[in-house]
Structure 1
Amino acid sequence: MTDSTDLPAPLAEIRDSFLELGERDRLQLLLEFAGELPELPERYAASPALLEKVEECQSPVRAFAEVEADGVHFYATAPREAPTTRGFASILAQGLTGLTPQQVLAVPDDFAMTLGLTRAVSPLRLNGMTGMLTRAKRQIRTQLHPA
């Protein structure tokens, strides 16, 4: 398991918030995150095809990590009818945005498994969050080192 000292502060705070709660309350916190998924910027809202489809997600999820002068911005869209997936997208949007590309690339791939949700959420849903993170890292690498 990932130690919170290995994580950038925003992700460590999110992780610790989950682990401070009992199992039942963790799912509730995930649902609260679902309600906090940031809206897409207009350029993505008008052209959702600019976001990459996350195949690992059972729900139609699209995401993109953008490297800007002020750090990484992670954008995602997930249907309201898929609150756990939407919650995971929101965790990444809130936890990755503002980090340096190097900080995002250093986030352990098993981050989803460190939230204490393995008994509350199906492995397929956790794989979806891992898929979002994996894509974000690949997108960042591509922007840092274009072919």
Structure 2
Amino acid sequence: MISTGSPNLDRMVERLAASSDPKRRYEYVLWLAKKLQPLPDEFRHEAFMVKGCVSQVFVAGQLLEGKLHWLGDSDAAITKGLLALLIEGLEGLTPEQVAAIDPSFIAATGLQASLTPSRSNGFLNILKLMQSQARGLQG
């Protein structure tokens, strides 16, 4: 199993990888979407919008006491779940830790087999924006 450097993300990747049933993976992703906190309107603009996503996706990282805290939302349930997975997985990490995460963990989830290419690409674009924000917040 790949270690991402994030215990939360590793745990979720392991849970997804352990299921051979694509329907179970989707149910888990949709469950994560339901847990996502509402996104305040001040973060619903261009600077926080994920480019290259078919659906509207917003993600905002904030640095508090050296740790990143994330907010986000999407208008599509599956995409919102993928965003929630990344938000939960990258919560509380340092900007350096987030910037260092290798996107190869995405393949280990097994999700790509059941995601459309555009959604799979969107998942990667969400991660890239989060990493870009993390680099921007580095000391």
TM class by shorter chain equals 0.7 to 0.9
- Deviating above 4 A after TM superposition, structure 1's stretches of 4 or more consecutive aligned residues are none
Q: Alpha carbons of 1:50 and 1:66: their partners in 2 closer, same or farther (altered >3 Å)?
A: farther
Contact kept, 8 Å, 2:43 with 2:58, in 1: the verdict is: no
Q: Could you tell me which residue of structure 1 aligns to residue 37 of structure 2?
A: 38
Q: Could you tell me which residue of structure 1 aligns to residue 24 of structure 2?
A: 25
Offset, 1:47:
5.0
Contact kept, 8 Å, 1:113 with 1:126, in 2: the verdict is: no
| SS across alignment from 2:115 | coil
Find the aligned partners of 1:47 and 1:7 in 2 and give their Cα distance: 27
**What's the TM-score, normalizing by structure 1?**
0.83
Contact kept, 8 Å, 2:95 with 2:137, in 1: the verdict is: no
Find the aligned partners of 1:46 and 1:136 in 2 and give their Cα distance: 17
Q: Alpha carbons of 1:10 and 1:19: their partners in 2 closer, same or farther (altered >3 Å)?
A: same
Offset, 1:70:
5.0
Work out whether 1:125 is the aligned partner of 2:119: yes
Q: Alpha carbons of 1:54 and 1:91: their partners in 2 closer, same or farther (altered >3 Å)?
A: same
Q: Could you tell me which residue of structure 2 aligns to residue 56 of structure 1?
A: 52
Contact kept, 8 Å, 1:53 with 1:61, in 2: the verdict is: yes
- Give the counterpart letter for 2:61 in structure 1: A
- Give the counterpart letter for 2:14 in structure 1: D
Offset, 1:15:
0.3
Q: Could you tell me which residue of structure 2 aligns to residue 71 of structure 1?
A: 67
The gaps in structure 1 that reach 5 residues or longer are: none
Offset, 1:6:
3.6
Q: Alpha carbons of 1:50 and 1:67: their partners in 2 closer, same or farther (altered >3 Å)?
A: farther
Q: Could you tell me which residue of structure 2 aligns to residue 100 of structure 1?
A: 94
Q: Alpha carbons of 1:21 and 1:93: their partners in 2 closer, same or farther (altered >3 Å)?
A: same
**What's the TM-score, normalizing by structure 2?**
0.88
Offset, 1:50:
7.1
Find the aligned partners of 1:35 and 1:18 in 2 and give their Cα distance: 17
The gaps in structure 2 that reach 5 residues or longer are: none
Q: Alpha carbon RMSD of aligned pairs, Å?
A: 1.8
Picking from 64, 81, 84, the partner of 1:87 is: 81
- Give the counterpart letter for 2:101 in structure 1: V
Find the aligned partners of 2:66 and 2:89 in 1 and give their Cα distance: 15
Find the aligned partners of 2:49 and 2:59 in 1 and give their Cα distance: 7
| SS across alignment from 1:108 | coil
| SS across alignment from 1:121 | coil
Name the count of aligned residue pairs. Answer: 138
